Amino acid sequence: MAAEPDDAEEGLLTAVTVEQSWRFDGVLSDVTAARDRASDFLYELARLHPPAALDAHDDALLVVTELASNAFAFAPGPFVLTLGMVMGGTLRVALADTNPTPPRPRPVSLAGRGGVGWHLINTLAEQTISVPEAEGKTVHVFLPW
């Protein structure tokens, strides 16, 4: 005789979300703090789901550093960093800040005045999305993991 399905089995977990967020005040030292928190998260994530891409950890830290640096430079006030796994082995890095202007490429300055970050992010990313929010925007960067 076959077992009847139990009501508890109907709600079986079909996806696991691994995600963490951190809020920062928006001071210069928060760029380093965001990178450190992200690195800790990525080491733990690698224990659960090892990255397929060799440079995945370093690429993600570069993206976090660029997003946090831009939030400090162009969006006064606090920012929130969120990292999480998306089904299919993709890492999502999201940063919400107070500036509603979406990021855009700038000319690269050989004199050290920037312009490289957004180009780097888009080179590393599978996809980038900027979502307007009530008090700023959230930039989502999807990276291979």
Q: How far apart are the first and last CA of the chain?
A: 45
Residues 33 and 3: their CA atoms lie apart, in Å, by: 53
> Quick check: 138 and 94 in contact, CB under 8 A?
yes
pLDDT of residue 115: 74
CB 8 within 8 A of CB 19: no
**pLDDT value of position 6:** 47
pLDDT, tens digit, for every residue of 95-122? Answer: 999 999 999 887 776 776 777 889 899 9
Under a CB-based contact definition with an 8 Å cutoff, are residues 64 and 93 in contact? yes
Provide the Cα torsion 95, 100, 104, 108; round to 10°. Answer: -80
Residue 94 CB contacts under 8 Å (≥ 6 apart), including other chains:
81, 82, 83, 84, 138, 139, 140, 141
Please write the tens of the pLDDT for every residue from 64-81: 999 999 999 999 899 999
As a whole number, mean pLDDT of residues 127-133 equals 96
Lowest mean pLDDT among 61-65, 108-112, 128-132: 108-112
Q: Alpha helices, DSSP H only, in the chain?
A: 29-48, 56-74, 117-124
pLDDT digits (tens, 9 = 90+) for 4-57: 444 444 555 455 568 999 999 999 999 999 999 999 999 999 998 999 988 999
Q: Cα–Cα–Cα angle for 144, 16, 14, nearest 5°?
A: 115
Closest by CA position to 66, among listed 106, 15, 12? 106
